[in-house]
Structure 1
Amino acid sequence: MISRPPDNPAERPSPADRLKKQRAASLVLYIGLVLLALWVVRDFIAVVAWAGVVAIALWPLLRKVEGNRWFTGRTTLIAALLTLVIALLVVLPVGIGIAQALREAHDLNDWFKGARETGIALPDFIERLPFGAQQISAWWQANLAQPLRDSAAMKGLHSTTAMMLGRRFGARALHAVMVFVFMLVTLFVIFQAGPRLSGSLIKAVRRGFGDDGADLMQRMAAAVRGTVSGLVVVGLGEGALLGVAYFVTGLPHVALLGFVTAIAAMLPFCAPITFGLAALWLLAQGSVAAAVGLVLFGSVVVFVAEHFVRPVLIGNSTRLPFLLVLFGILGGAETFGLLGIFIGPALMTVLMVLWTDLVR
C-alpha cells in the first residue's frame, strides 16, 4: 500500500487567496448572468432606452408634480397621468395625419388613374423658366405626357407588388405600434418608481465608481435632457413659424404640413426638405413669388435655429462645444438610428469629462 505524503502547510492556499479566487469566480458568474439576461431581453433594449430618454427628459416635471400637495404620495396617479399625456401627444397628431391622408387617398387614386390613361400634363411654370425650358419640355413630352399604362414603372406596380409593399408597411407599422405600447408600459413603471429608482441608481453608481462616476451619470442625464429640449423645442418652434408661412403663402393642409415640418425639424438640417418641397408645389402652381419668399423665410428660420438657438439649449445644459454637440447628434443618428440622436451627446459628454480630467 502506497502511503500518502503528508500535506505541506506551505502549499495550502491562504484564506485571503481563497477569498480572492471566490470573488473572481463570483465576478465571472455575475458578468455571465448579466450578459445572458441582456441576450434574453435584447429585443426590448431599444424600448427601455426610449423609455429612459423620455423619463430623463420629463424627470424635472415629475419632481415638480410630486411636490404639489394635491399629488403627494400618489405616485401611481402621477405615473398614469404623465404616461397618458405622452401617449396623447403621439397618438393625436398621428391620428390626424392618417385621417387627412385617408381623405386625400381618393383624389390621389383619381390622379393615378388619370396619369395611366392620359399622362401627366406639363406644368405651366416650366415654360416660364429663364433657361432649360425647351429641354425640360421635350423630355416631359417624351416621358410623362404620354399615357403611362405601358411604362416600365407602371408595369412594376402590379397587384402582387402592391400586396408585398402593403404587407411590409403593415408589418413595420405593427412593430412600431408594439414598440410604442411597450415603451409606454416601461415609462409608467419608471415614473411609478420615481425618486426611489433614481436614488438607487445613483447609490449603485457611487458604490461601484465613486463620486466621479455618480457625477458623470448626472451629467450624461443632463446631456440627454438638453438634447431632447434642443431638438423637440426647436423643432416645434420651426414647425410653428413655417406653418404660419404656409398659411400666408396659401398652401393647403397647413396644419398637417406644419406638423410634418416640426417632426423633420427635430432632426438637424431636415426642415429644408419639407419647406423646399412646399416651395416646389407653389412653383408648380405658378406662385413664383410665394415660393421664393417661403424658401427665404424658411432658410432664415432654420439658420437661426440650427446655429444659435439649438446649440445654446443643448450646449448650456451639457457644457459641450457646438462642434461636439453636432458630431454627437449626427454620429449617434448614423450609428444607433433615431435613438442615437439622444445617446450621441451623452457619449460626447463622457469624452469631454475624460479629456478634462486628463489635461487638468
Structure 2
Amino acid sequence: MISRPPAASSESPTPGCLKKQKAASLVLYVALVLLALWVVRDFIAVVAWAGVIAIALWPLLRRVEGSRWFSGRTTLIAALLTLAIALLVVLPVGVGIAQALREARDLSDWFRTAQDNGIAMPGLIERLPFGAQQISTWWQTNLAAPLRESPAMKGLHSTTVMTLGRHVGERVAHSVMVFAFMLVALFVIFQAGPRLSGSILKGVRRGFGDDGARLVEHMAAAVRGTVSGLVVVGIGEGALLGIAYFVTGLPHAALLGLVTAIAAMLPFCAPITFGLAALWLFAQGSVAAAIGLAVFGSVVVFIAEHFVRPVLIGNSTRLPFLLVLFGILGGAETFGLLGLFIGPALMTVLMVLWTDLVQ
C-alpha cells in the first residue's frame, strides 16, 4: 500500500500572525542595522566627512560628467577630484612644515641661548598701564635667569617631553590614517556618481514618500551652502588679514595669510592667528602696528562672522539669520567640526517641517 504525502495546508496566515511577522521583521532589520553601525562605528565620522565634501562638490561633478571630454570616464573624474581635495590639504601643511624646518635652526640657537642666559624682559612691560609689577616679578623669577635653573622649566623633564611627543605622534598618525580613509571613501562616492544619488532618493521615497525625499534635498542644499559660506568667508578673511600682515611688516605674511584663511573657515578661530601676530608685534616694540592689526582683525572677523557668513548660508538654505547662527554654533558644540555642517542641515529640516505645519 503506497502512502500519500499529507496535503499542503491551504489555510492562509491570520491577520494577527501577519502583524507579528511584520513586527518581528522590523525588529530584525533594526537589530541588523544597529549591529552593522556598531561594527563600523570608528569609520562613521570618516564617511560623514566624505559625504559632506561630496555633497559640496556634487554640482561640479555633474558639470564635469556632462562635458564631452570626460563623458563616461567616471573613474578618471573621481580620481582627479579626490586628488584635488588631497592637494588642497597636503600642500598648505607641506608649506608650513617646510617653513618650520627652515626656521628650526634659528629657533634651536635661540633656545640654546635662552637656556644659558635666560630671556631678557621687553622694556614695554614696564610701561604697561596696569599689571607691570606682577608681570615683571614673574618674568624675573621664571624667564630672566638661565632657563636650566628656572622654576618654569624644572617641570619639563625628559620623561614628560617624551610622553608628550608620543601622544602628539599618535594623534598625527591617527589623523593621517583618518584622512587616507576619507579619501578612499570620497573616491568611491565620486565613482558611484549619479547612481548613488538616484539610489538614495529612490530608497528615501520608498521609505518616507516624496516629503522625505524633499527633506533630503533640503539638507543637501544646507550642507552645500554651509561649505560654500565657510570656504568663501575663510578665504576673504585670510586675504584681508594677509594684506594687514604685509602692511604691518610681519615676516612670512603670505604664509600667515594662508594659515589665517584655514583658521577662518572655522567660526571664531581667526582671532587666534591675528591675535598671536599682534602679540608678536607688541613684543618687538611695534605698539601702534600691534594695536592696528588687532583692531582691524576684530572688525573683519566681526563683520564676516556675524553678517557675511550667515547671509551666504541663509540665502542658499532660506534660513533666518538666527537659525543659521544657532545651527553653526550649536552643531559645532554638539558634534565638533562635523557639526558645522550637520547643524544648519538640521535647522533646515526644522524650518521645512514648521513651514509644512503652518501652511
Contact 1:127 1:134 in 2 (8 A): yes
1:313-324 matches, within 5 Å, as 313-324=312-323
- What residue number does 1:4 align with? none
Find out whether 1:194 has 2:193 as its counterpart.
yes
Could you tell me which amino acid in structure 2 is paired with residue 351 of structure 1? L
Which stretch has the larger CA shift, 168-177 or 261-270? Answer: 261-270
1:15-34 matches, within 5 Å, as 15-34=14-33
Deviations along 1:221-255, whole A, 9 cap, x unmatched?
A: 11111111111111111111111111111101212
1:1-360 matches, within 5 Å, as 14-360=13-359
SS in 1 for 2:250: coil
Contact 1:124 1:284 in 2 (8 A): no
Q: Which runs of 5+ in 1 are unaligned?
A: 1-11
Instruction: Provide the TM-score with structure 2 as the length reference.
Output: 0.93
Contact 1:125 1:285 in 2 (8 A): no
SS in 1 for 2:120: coil
Residues paired across the two proteins, number: 349
Deviations along 1:330-354, whole A, 9 cap, x unmatched?
A: 1111111111111111111122222
Q: How much has 1:285 moved relative to structure 2? A: 1.0
CA RMSD of aligned residues (A): 1.7
Contact 1:235 1:264 in 2 (8 A): yes
SS in 2 for 1:157: coil
Deviations along 1:105-143, whole A, 9 cap, x unmatched?
A: 222222222222222111132234345445533442233
SS in 1 for 2:303: helix
Q: How much has 1:14 moved relative to structure 2? A: 4.4
- What residue number does 1:3 align with? none
Could you tell me which amino acid in structure 2 is paired with residue 276 of structure 1? G
Distance 2:195 2:243 in 1: 44
Could you tell me which amino acid in structure 1 is paired with residue 283 of structure 2? A
Distance 1:58 1:98 in 2: 28
Q: How much has 1:102 moved relative to structure 2? A: 1.9
Which stretch has the larger CA shift, 63-72 or 284-293? Answer: 284-293
Q: Which runs of 5+ in 2 are unaligned?
A: 1-10
Contact 2:143 2:150 in 1 (8 A): no
Contact 2:268 2:301 in 1 (8 A): yes
SS in 2 for 1:59: helix
Could you tell me which amino acid in structure 2 is paired with residue 90 of structure 1? V
Distance 1:181 1:134 in 2: 51
Distance 1:86 1:156 in 2: 42
